Chain A
Amino acid sequence: MAINEDAILKSELRWAIVVGGIVAVILIAILYAALAMHINPPSNREYVDPKTLHLSAEFTEANLGTRVDPNGQVVARLIATQFEFVPNCIVLPARTPVTMRITSPDVIHGLLVSGTNVNTMVIPGYVAQVHTTFTKTGDLLMPCHEFCGLGHSQMMATVRVVPPAAFHPGPGGRIACGNRG
Chain B
Amino acid sequence: MATAARPATTAAPRETDLAGLQTSRLVQSHIWIAIAAFAVACLLGVWQMWARSPIQAPYHTAANYFRSVTLHGVSMAFVLTTFFIMGFGYYVAETALKRPLPGIGFAWVAFWMGIAGTLMAALSVISGNASVLFTFYPPLTATPWFYVGLVLVVVASWIWCILMIIAMRSWRRANDGRPVPLAMFATTANAVMWLWTTVGVAAELLFQVIPAAFGWNQTVDVGLSRTLFSWTLHAIVYFWLFPSYSAFYTMFPRAAGGRLYSDTMGRLAFILFLLYSLPVGLHHLFMDPEHSNGFKFLQMFLTALVSVPTLLTVFTITASAEIAGRMRGGKGLFGWIGALPWERPMVLATGLAFVMLFWGGGGGLINMSYGMNAMIHNTSWVTAHFHLIFGGTVVIMYQAICYSIWPSLTGRDFPSLKPLLVQLWLWFIGMMVMTLPWHWLGLEGQWRRVAAFDYSNPIIHGWGPWVIVSLVGGIILALSAFLFLYNLASLHWRGVLGAPAEIEYARAVHEPERVPSSLNGFGLWNIIVALLMLLAYGWPIAQFFVYPPPQAMVHRLG
Contacts and interface: CB of A to CB of B under 8 A. Distances in A.
Interface stretch (B85-93, B160-168, B169-177, B441-449): B441-449
A22 B305 CA distance: 11
B222 A108 contact: yes
Contact of B139 (A118, A120, A124, A141): A124
B19 interface: no
B300 A153 contact: no
Interface stretch (A23-31, A89-97, A163-171): A23-31
Contacts of A42: 287, 289, 374
Interface string A111-122: 010110111111
A43 B372 CA distance: 14
Contacts of B312: 12, 15-16, 19
B372 A121 contact: no
A50 B553 contact: yes
Interface string A121-132: 111111111000
A34 B106 CA distance: 51
A100 interface: no
B292 A45 contact: yes
B511 to A, nearest CB: 11
A107 interface: yes
Interface string B451-495: 111100101100000000000000000000000000000000000
A45 B285 CA distance: 13
A119 B375 contact: yes
B370 interface: yes
B555 interface: yes
B296 A112 contact: no
B447 A145 contact: yes
Contacts of B300: 30
B403 interface: no
Interface in B49-85: 62-63, 65-66
B143 to A, nearest CB: 15
A22 B315 CA distance: 14
A51 interface: yes
B265 A23 contact: no
Interface string A143-156: 11111111111001
A147 B369 CA distance: 24
A68 B292 CA distance: 28
Contacts of B261: 8
B292 A123 contact: no
A78 to B, nearest CB: 14
Contacts of A147: 66, 132-133, 137, 449
A145 B448 contact: yes
Interface string B411-425: 000000000000000
Contacts of A145: 377-379, 447-449
A126 B555 CA distance: 18
Contact of B552 (A41, A106, A114, A120): A106
Contacts of A141: 445, 457, 459-460
B447 to A, nearest CB: 4
B509 A8 contact: yes
Interface residues of A, number: 67
Given A15-B312, A34-B370, A115 B445 contact: yes
A48 interface: yes
Interface string B369-412: 11111110111000000000000000000000000000000000
A167 B430 CA distance: 49
A106 B287 contact: no
Contacts of B365: 26
B131 interface: yes
Interface in A1-27: 1, 3, 5, 8-9, 11-12, 15-16, 19-20, 22-23, 26-27
A143 B326 contact: no
A87 interface: no
A5 B304 CA distance: 30
A40 interface: yes
A157 to B, nearest CB: 13
Contacts of A118: 374
Interface string B127-141: 000011100010110
A119 B287 contact: yes
Interface string A71-94: 000000000001000000000000
B450 A153 contact: yes
**A20, A27, A33, A125, most chain B CB atoms within 10 A:** A125
Given A106-B555, A119-B374, A114 B509 contact: no
A102 to B, nearest CB: 9
Contacts of B518: none
Contacts of A15: 311-312, 315
Contact of B323 (A1, A48, A119): A1
Given A8-B261, A147-B449, A49 B304 contact: no
Contacts of A16: 312
Interface string B327-353: 000000000000000000000000000
B447 A108 contact: no
B137 A107 contact: yes
Given A112-B445, A129-B289, A41 B374 contact: yes
Contacts of B137: 107-108, 146-148
Contacts of A129: 289
A63 to B, nearest CB: 19
B369 A30 contact: yes
Contacts of B311: 15, 19, 22
B290 A126 contact: yes
26 contacts: A1-B326, A8-B261, A12-B316, A23-B304, A33-B371, A41-B287, A41-B371, A41-B373, A44-B289, A51-B552, A107-B555, A108-B137, A112-B377, A117-B374, A119-B375, A119-B377, A122-B289, A123-B222, A125-B549, A126-B289, A126-B290, A143-B447, A146-B137, A147-B66, A147-B137, A150-B63
Interface of B: 62-63, 65-66, 131-133, 137, 139-140, 221-223, 226, 261-262, 265, 285-293, 296-297, 300-301, 304-305, 307-308, 311-312, 315-316, 319, 322-323, 326, 365, 369-375, 377-379, 444-445, 447-454, 457, 459-460, 509-510, 549-553, 555, 557
Given A51-B553, A152-B66, 11 more contacts: A11-B319, A27-B304, A41-B286, A45-B292, A104-B552, A106-B555, A107-B140, A112-B378, A115-B444, A120-B374, A146-B449
